[in-house]
C-alpha cells in the first residue's frame, strides 16, 4: 500500500518538534479525516535554515510532513512557495489515492508558515 520512502519517513520522521521563537508558523487540518499539521520555520536572509513539524494524523500525514521539511530546508522563501503537495507525494514515490485528499496537506502547512513569516516581517 505504501512505498518504502513513505514507510521510512513514517517510522523515522525527520525534523519533528517545534522551534521556539519561530519566524513563521503554519497550521492546516482536514476536518473530514482529522489530520492536523503544524510547521515551524526559521529564516535567515530569505533562506529557510530550519523547519520542524508536529502532526496528528495517519502514517501518510506524518510521512508527508517529514518529507516537506526535508525539501524546504536550504530553499529561499520563493523556492519553498513553489513546492506543491504533488511534489511532496512524488518525492515519497506516491501515495495511495485514498490518502491524497486528507494526508497530503504538508505543502499547504509550509505555505501557511511562509504567509505567517511574511506577515511578521512586513
Catalytic residues: 33, 102
Other residues' Cβ atoms within 10 Å of the Cβ of residue 76: 13
Q: Are 38 and 25 in contact (CB under 8 A)?
A: yes
Cα distance between residue 35 and residue 105, in whole Å: 9
Cα distance between residue 114 and residue 88, in whole Å: 17
Backbone CA torsion sign across 84, 88, 93, 94: negative
Amino acid at each position: 500500500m505504501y512505498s518504502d520512502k513513505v514507510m521510512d519517513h513514517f517510522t523515522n520522521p525527520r525534523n519533528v518538534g517545534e522551534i521556539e521563537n519561530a519566524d513563521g508558523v503554519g497550521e492546516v487540518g482536514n476536518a473530514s479525516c482529522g489530520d492536523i499539521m503544524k510547521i515551524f520555520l526559521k529564516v535567515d536572509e530569505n533562506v529557510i535554515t530550519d523547519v520542524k513539524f508536529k502532526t496528528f494524523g495517519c502514517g501518510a500525514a506524518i510521512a508527508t510532513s517529514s518529507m516537506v521539511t526535508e525539501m524546504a530546508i536550504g530553499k529561499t522563501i520563493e523556492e519553498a512557495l513553489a513546492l506543491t503537495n504533488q511534489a511532496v507525494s512524488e518525492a515519497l514515490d506516491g501515495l495511495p489515492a485514498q490518502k491524497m485528499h486528507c494526508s497530503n496537506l504538508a505543502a499547504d502547512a509550509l505555505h501557511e508558515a511562509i504567509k505567517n513569516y511574511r506577515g511578521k516581517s512586513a
